[in-house]
Chain A
Amino acid sequence: MRTALAVLRKDLLLELRTFETVPAMALFSIAIFVIFHFGVNRPTVDGQLAAGVLTVTLLFAGILGVNRLFVAEREQGGFDAFLLAPVDRSALLLAKASALFLFLVVLEVIAVPAFGILLLGPPLSPTLPAMILVLALADLGIAVIGTLVSALAVQTRSRDVIGPLIGLPLLIPALIATARAIGPLLRPQGPAPLPGKWLLILALYDLVFALVAYAVFDFLLED
Chain B
Amino acid sequence: MDTPAIELRGVARYFGERIALRDLSFTVPAGATLAVLGRNGAGKSTLLRVLATLLRAHAGEVSVLGEPLPRRAFAVRGRLGLLPHEPLLYRDLSGRENLRYHARLYGVGAERVEELLRDVRMERRADEPVRLLSRGMVQRVAVCRAVLHDPEVLLLDEARANLDPGASELVEPLVGRLAGRTRVITSHDPEAALAEADLALGLRDGRPTFTLPADQVTPDLVRELYA
Any A–B CB pair closer than 8 Å: yes
Contact B90 A76 (CB under 8 A): yes
Residues A84 and B54 in contact, CB atoms below 8 Å apart = yes
User: When the two chains form their complex, are residues A18 and B102 in contact, meaning their CB atoms are under 8 A apart?
Assistant: no
Across the interface, B82 reaches (CB within 8 A) one of A7, A18, A78, A84, namely A84
Q: Helix, strand, loop or mixed for chain A's interface?
A: helix
Contact B92 A2 (CB under 8 A): no
A75 to chain B, nearest CB (A): 9
Verify if A207 is at the interface (C-beta below 8 Å from B). Answer: no
A-B contact count (CB 8 A): 68
Contact of A87 with B97 at beta-carbon distance under 8 Å, contacts A77-B88, A78-B90, A223-B54 already known: no
- Range, interface on chain A: 20 to 34
* Distance in Å: Cβ of A157 to nearest Cβ of chain B: 15
Whether a CB of chain B sits under 8 angstroms from the CB of A132 is no
Query: Does B89 contact A76, Cβ atoms closer than 8 Å?
Result: yes
Most buried by B among A6, A9, A77, A86: A86
B106 part of interface (Cβ distance < 8 Å):
yes
* Residue B55 at the chain A interface, CB threshold 8 Å: yes
Judged by a CB distance under 8 angstroms, whether B105 is at the interface is yes
Q: Is the CB of A85 within 8 A of B102?
A: yes
A81/B77 in contact, CB under 8 A = no
Cβ-based interface call for A83 (8 A): yes
A7-22 vs B: 1/0 string, CB under 8 Å? Answer: 1011001100110000
Chain B, 162-199, CB within 8 A of any chain A CB: none
The verdict on A81 contacting B55 (CB below 8 Å), with A3-B105, A6-B101 known, is no
| Residues in B neighbouring A9, C-beta threshold 8 A | 101, 104
B87 touches A (CB below 8 Å) = yes
Closest to A3 in B: B105
In-complex Cβ contact of A13 among B74, B88, B97 (8 A):
B97
Residues of chain A contacted by B56 (CB below 8 angstroms): 222-223
The smallest C-beta distance from A87 to any residue of chain B, in angstroms, reads 6
Interface residues of B in 32-81 (CB under 8 A from A): 52-56, 74, 77-78, 80
* Contacts of A128-177 to chain B: CB distance below 8 A: none
Contact of B77 among A14, A80, A86 (CB under 8 A): A86
Given A10, A18, A86, which contacts B101 in the complex, CB threshold below 8 Å?
A10
B222: min CB distance to chain A, Å: 30
> For the complex, what is the distance from the CA of A110 to the CA of B129, rounded to whole Å?
29
- The reply to whether A77 and B104 form a contact with Cβ atoms under 8 Å apart is no
- Closest A residue to B74 by beta carbon equals A86
By a CB distance below 8 angstroms, the chain B residues around A198 are none
Measured between beta carbons, the chain A residues less than 8 angstroms from B97 are: 10, 13
Q: Which residues of B contact A86 (CB under 8 A)?
A: 74, 77-78, 106
Q: A85-B77, A86-B77 are in contact. Are A10 and B93 (CB under 8 A)?
A: yes
- 4 tightest Cβ-Cβ pairs between the two chains A and B: A86-B78, A6-B104, A77-B88, A85-B105
Contacts from B to A (Cβ < 8 Å): 52-56, 74, 77-78, 80, 82, 84, 86-93, 97, 101-102, 104-106, 129, 145
Q: List 5 A-B contacts (CB under 8 A).
A: A2-B104, A81-B88, A81-B105, A83-B53, A86-B74
